[in-house]
Chain A
Amino acid sequence: MSETPLPPAPPLPVPDPVTAFFWEALREHTLAIQWCSRCERFQHTPAHYCFGCGTEELTSRTVSGRGRVHSSTTLLDPPGPAFVDRLPLTIVVVELDEQAGLVLAAEMPSGPAPIGTPVEAYFEDVAAGTTLPRFRPLANESDQA
């Protein structure tokens, strides 16, 4: 019996000691961003030291997952074999509400939205033990309560 081979799955993130908190939070369907309590600043992606003051004593904080579209692109050319059947694929760069300049990239399955569009994160369990953040437009202001 032969079946049509399935396309490969997208690559799965391999957490490391610095990034583990981020992936653990996503499994709980929350978004956590690395935090320096000295500088009182977030930074993303996680690093082993603070880009502001250099300390290695960093923690993380749960954030709202809300922000605004800083920019986007829609892929029509597969970036790898796993994405051949997943096009078009919109990627957004979102500036999170918590801090100016704090950006996070993720897929936005609903498609492109103009820069400045309010968006919120949601969570998709893509494999056993792996959850990815996605973004979607905030339906309207009253939904934010």
Chain B
Amino acid sequence: MSNRLRDQVAITGVGYSDLSRRPSASLGTLTVSAVDAALDAAGLRRSDVDGIATSPSMPRYGGRKGVEDGTDIVSTGYLAGRLGIADAITWSSSTTHMVTYSLIDAVHAIAAGACETVVVYRAVHVPDGRYISFDSTVAVGGDQFTAPFGFSGPPSWAGVVMRRYLDLHGYSREHLARFAVANRATTLLNPRAYWSGKPLTVEDYLGARMVSDPMTILDCDIPVDGAVALVLTSAERAASSGAPHALVSGYALGTQAAPRGVYMTLEDLWSGTERMGVRLWQSSGMRPEDIDVVQAYDGFSIFVPTWLEGLGFHARGDALGALAEGSGSLTGPRPVNTGGGSLGEGRLHGMTQLAEAVLQLTDQGGQRQVDGAGTAVATISNGLAGSTAFALRRP
């Protein structure tokens, strides 16, 4: 990101639908409710929206992906129609990457003057049955080198990273347990979190079902149906509106190619997140010591320490020990995943991190508000190509 974009665009509304395992409304209706909530928070109306962007995909690995608009996915056209604003849209974008690329697109569109008020949303539907199930009888392309012996699910890909991280640094599952317990304690203060109201002990964690040793079910984010929407506008318009907002100070794209046939190794995650850190600090003008809260992507728990290390908050191998000691707790030196992250709140593919960053920077964190949080980092995915990281600040 060129410095010319620094602090030019604001996120001025965050809206959630209900989050649940088995929703009573369609994904389309959930998405409309999230957008209306975000517009309400921004003090805007549907008719103010002239840009719309998303990543319309259904997270499913190895099985049949649903494509029904409004049920399995929500396209920009569908949503504009449901909102009754199809003719007002002057710019829209759909990305095959994660939705965080839509946020970058929206920053550019507003800065370029293509539109003034953009809704960036992510709608996630989790199909019935197992969403990770390689049920084909043949393995083609890259799957030739993994699926024939069962190396076809994301938990196993991240499981090998986790095993190496633990073994290289002398950590045990007790460290993971203490991190999980600390994260759950934060989660309990987020009323919309899936795991809200369900305390966790070290013993609970150590007894959790093992999925891909050393990864347990509690190291995987919790799949939910739901939608999150962000409303973006120019910093200038946001300031004159008087609505609470956060500024997008900088962003970084991941460019580290995934290792072939393995999907990810610990060393690749470090290299990828370190390269993203260089870009993020350059574009935002910030440094790690300037950051008050970190929203680190936690689709799998092991990504939290690798992000914290890659971005320069800790040396390689040190972050899990610090997290186990409470460094990421709300009362710790630098709170991490202040809403519980995807592990606690729900799997919303990066929106969890972005939304929570904005809520903290606008004093909307409720019981989990970090007093005076002025700067935040939000990271999404694992640090390899396709990942993104954002630096945000209070105006």
Interfacial residues, chain A to chain B (CB-CB below 8 A):
8-16, 19, 23, 43-45, 47, 51, 70-83, 86, 88-89, 91, 93, 101, 103-107, 112, 114-115, 126, 130, 132
The stretch of B14-22, B206-214, B241-249, B356-364 in contact with A is B206-214
Give CA–CA (A53, B35) in the complex, Å.
48
CA distance A51 to B257 in the complex (A): 11
B167 touches A114 (CB 8 A): yes
**Is B215 close to A, CB under 8 A?**
yes
Enumerate chain A residues within 8 angstroms of B261, measured Cβ to Cβ. Answer: 44-45, 103-105
The reply to whether A70 and B265 contact each other, CB–CB distance below 8 Å, is: yes
Known pairs A14-B139, A91-B160, A103-B265; A81 contacts B133 (CB<8 A): yes
Answer yes or no: B155 CB below 8 A from chain A CBs: yes
Which of B88-96, B146-154, B185-193, B310-318 faces chain A?
A: B146-154
Residues of B within 8 A of A (CB): 62, 132-153, 155-156, 159-164, 167-168, 209-215, 257, 259-262, 265-267
Contact A71 B62 (CB under 8 A): no
Q: In the complex where A10-B148, A75-B150, A79-B150 touch, is A93 in contact with B262 (Cβ < 8 A)?
A: yes
| Beta-carbon contact of A71 and B161 below 8 Å | yes
Nearest 7 pairs of A and B residues by beta carbon? A73-B159, A80-B134, A13-B144, A71-B164, A74-B213, A71-B160, A107-B149
Q: Report A105 CB to chain B, min CB distance, Å.
A: 5
Please, could you name 29 A-B residue pairs with CB atoms under 8 Å apart, sorted by A? A11-B137, A13-B140, A13-B143, A13-B144, A14-B138, A14-B144, A16-B144, A44-B261, A45-B144, A45-B145, A71-B266, A72-B163, A73-B160, A73-B162, A73-B213, A75-B212, A76-B211, A76-B212, A77-B155, A79-B150, A79-B151, A79-B152, A79-B153, A80-B133, A80-B147, A105-B146, A105-B261, A106-B149, A132-B148
| CB-based contact A15/B150 at 8 Å | no
- Report the Cα distance A107→B146, complex, angstroms: 10
- Interchain nearest-CB distance for A107 vs B (Å): 4
- If A71-B266, A132-B148 touch, whether A77 touches B212 (CB-CB below 8 Å) is yes
- Contact call A112/B213, Cβ cutoff below 8 A: yes
Chain A residue, CB-CB nearest to B214: A73
Contacting residue for A79 out of B156, B161, B214, B262, CB 8 A: B156
For A132, list chain B residues within 8 Å (CB). 148-149
Which A residues lie within 8 Å of B148 (CB)?
Answer: 10-13, 126, 130, 132
Is the pair B151, A105 in contact by a Cβ cutoff of 8 Å? yes
Bound Cα distance from A45 to B262, whole angstroms: 9
Contact call A105/B262, Cβ cutoff below 8 A:
yes
- B211 pairs with A47, CB closer than 8 A: no
* Bound: A112/B162 CA distance, A: 14
Whether B164 pairs with A70 at a CB distance below 8 angstroms is: yes
Chain A residue at minimal CB-CB distance from B165: A71
Given the complex, which residues of A lie within 8 Å of B257, measured CB to CB?
Answer: 51
Chain A residues lying within 8 Å of B155, measured Cβ to Cβ, are 77
Given A10-B149, A71-B163, A105-B146, A93 and B134 touching (CB < 8 A)?
no
- Whether the pair B62, A8 counts as a contact (CB closer than 8 A) is no
| CB pair B146 A19 closer than 8 Å | no
Minimum CB–CB distance from A114 to chain B (whole Å) comes to 7
Assess whether A14 is in contact with B140, with CB atoms less than 8 Å apart.
yes
